[in-house]
Amino acid sequence: MEPVLAACRAALAKPGHVIALTGAGVSAESGIPTFRGKEGYWTIGAREFHPQELATHTAFEAMPWAVWAWYLYRRSVCRHAQPNPGHLALARLAAALPDRFALVTQNVDGLHRRAGSPDAQTYPIHGDISQMRCAADCVPDRWPIPDAVPDLGKGDAVDAAIQAQLVCPRCGGMARPHVLWFDESYDEPRFHLDTVRRLAGRAALVVSAGTSAQTNLPWQVVQLAARAGATIVDVNLEANPFGDIAAGSGGVIRGPAGAALTAIADALISR
Ligand code: OAD
């Protein structure tokens, strides 16, 4: 791990931003199933669905309450989870580097915020599972899912009393989870597209952690940053495309994100 920490310290001596790019693996140690792991599957009726089928506008149009049930179950898991050392390390980095640290996260679980990462330095590019917005887009606003909406277990249905809570406060139509679906596109107002691209283009260091590198904006972050001369480091239990890029740059840590991010934060803060 030491050569990677040395590369991180060297990158900090260059001008530019330090970007942490996090994925589901960072929350795995908090007990939240990853997206593409075995626990990600979900059964509706007699069929098993992969998240990539359910996290779509098409699925929501066809079976909105079944999709809501999946999100409300996952919201319950997230609410009961606690931030782990990886989240806490990134919150410490944000505090130590107030002018040059940005956290770009694909995670919708809110654990970075609960660990103390400030909103001003955090870019949740796939949304927030605790929020909802108008399904018909009558206004771009988003709202917390009401506290009166209870935790849902696997197999629990969204009954009429819950359905009555999941409405747009403006137009009274159906609300939807505030998450980016596979058949939708990134934008700036909701998902920070332009801001994140701009930050990546002037990065000195990108630490990707716990992501399988399957989505578009994270790819842009790594590529724009690499083109700008940034050092790329990857933390993951397994090989992944960002690891291949990092291997030719700052290096790879093949281990759990909690310990690795703690070591990286310590190295950057005590430099
Ligand atoms: P994935 O589930 O695709 O990948 C999780 C990654 O974390 C894998 O590469 C694992 O090897 C790694 N991993 C698991 N546990 C780890 C640990 N303790 N320490 C380090 N690494 C670990 O999740 P994401 O890459 O986040 O998007 O998925 C990206 C996006 O695809 C999600 O945000 C979601 C999904 O579809 C949307 O909903 C738009």
pLDDT digit string (tens) for the chain, length 271 residues: 999 999 999 999 999 999 999 999 999 999 998 877 766 677 777 778 888 889 999 999 999 999 999 999 999 999 999 999 999 999 999 999 999 999 999 999 999 999 999 999 999 999 999 999 999 999 999 999 999 999 999 889 999 999 999 999 999 999 999 999 999 999 999 999 999 999 999 999 999 999 999 999 999 999 999 999 999 999 999 999 999 999 999 999 999 999 999 999 999 998 6
The pTM of this model reads 0.96
pLDDT at 243: 98
Pairing of strands 47-49, 42-44: antiparallel
Closest CA to 251 of 268, 232, 264: 232
Helix then strand count (H, E) for the chain reads: 13, 11
Which residues make Cβ contacts (< 8 Å) with residue 46, sequence separation at least 6? Answer: none
**Beta strands 142-144 and 101-105, pairing class:** unpaired
Angle, vertex CA 203, rays to CA 197 and CA 206, nearest 5: 95
Helices 193-201 and 216-227 cross at an angle (nearest 10°) of 30
What DSSP character marks residue 38? Answer: G
**The dihedral of CA 151, 33, 263, 225: what is its sign?**
negative
In this prediction, residue 14 carries a pLDDT of: 94
pLDDT for the residue numbered 36: 76
pLDDT of residue 45: 76
Contacts of 74 (CB under 8 A, 6+ apart): 129
The pLDDT score that the predictor gives to residue 244 is 97
Burial class of residue 21 in the structure, from the number of CB atoms within 10 Å of its CB (0-12 exposed, 13-18 middle, 19+ buried): buried
Helix/strand/coil for 161: helix
CA–CA dist 175, 232 (Å, integer)? 39
**34 Cβ below 6 A of ligand 1:** yes
Distance between CA atoms of residues 201 and 225, nearest Å? 5
Q: What is the token pair recorded at 157? A: 């249905």
* Mutation probe of ligand 1 site: the residue of 84, 131, 237 with most atoms within 8 A of C-beta: 237
Q: What is the pLDDT of residue 40?
A: 65
Q: Is 253 in the pocket of ligand 1 (CB under 6 A)?
A: no
- Distance from the CA of 210 to the center of ligand 1, in angstroms? 5
Catalytic residue ranges: 126
